[in-house]
């Protein structure tokens, strides 16, 4: 089985559930529930950061990256989370450039919550439909006027781009990715394993 390689960018001040929620979805997924103990997930998940030093996430959780920006192998899916660490110029331009470069190589580009601001800075949302955390919707409209900002949807799919509302919506977004690649039955089985309601209703919860 060829596994889908997912790269999740992490940085100081990243929102924990923004990346841990999707990480859980991708790691829990199985193609055959009866062989859960024997077979790995069809997704290989890598945490990527500027260096291999521990990353202090929101609330003080310390996380060890698997790869640096330069050592990261080719990816199938790139996921960009949000959190307080995206505010202002905290994310340096070379990281934005890396996101832009990787976006041209992956089959699926995704973000959670205010990770949309980083995709916006990279020019990856222009002419596209996207969403973000409810508190940042107007900010996204103001700073990236070429983006059609959706304020009623939990997950917005625009071709190879998936964006989601805030924090917990990243779980729903990751389930959408599982569905796109492996079908609805596998996505539903993954949600059931997590005891998480499958997102049949895509309306924003807030």
SS3 content of the chain, % helix, strand, coil (to 5): 35, 20, 45
Q: Which of 20, 72, 111, 113 is catalytic?
A: 113
111 is catalytic: no
Distance CA(164)–CA(136), nearest Å, equals 12
Task: Identify the CA nearest to 141 among candidates 166, 162, 116, 159.
Answer: 116
Measured CA to CA in angstroms, residue 107 lies from 5, 39, 94, 145, 161 at distances of 10, 24, 22, 26, 9
Residue 164 has φ and ψ, to the nearest 5°, of -135, 165
Active-site residues, by number, are 113
């Amino acid at each position: 089985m060829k596994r889908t390689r997912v790269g999740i960018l992490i940085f100081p001040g990243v929102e924990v559930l923004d990346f841990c929620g999707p990480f859980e979805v991708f790691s829990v997924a199985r193609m055959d529930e009866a062989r859960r103990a024997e077979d790995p997930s069809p997704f290989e998940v890598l945490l990527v950061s500027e260096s291999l030093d521990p990353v202090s996430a929101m609330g003080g959780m310390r996380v060890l990256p698997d790869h640096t920006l330069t050592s990261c192998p080719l990816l199938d899916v790139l996921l960009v989370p949000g959190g307080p660490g995206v505010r202002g110029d905290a994310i340096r331009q070379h990281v934005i450039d890396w996101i832009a470069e990787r976006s041209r190589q992956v089959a699926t580009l995704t973000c959670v919550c205010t990770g949309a601001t980083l995709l916006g800075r990279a020019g990856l949302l222009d002419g596209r439909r996207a969403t973000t955390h409810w508190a940042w919707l107007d900010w996204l409209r103001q700073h990236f006027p070429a983006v059609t900002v959706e304020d009623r949807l939990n997950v917005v799919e625009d071709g190879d781009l998936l964006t989601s509302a805030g924090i917990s919506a990243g779980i729903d977004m990751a389930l959408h990715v599982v569905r796109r690649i492996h079908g609805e039955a596998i996505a539903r089985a993954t949600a059931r394993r997590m005891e998480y309601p499958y997102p049949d209703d895509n309306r924003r919860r807030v």
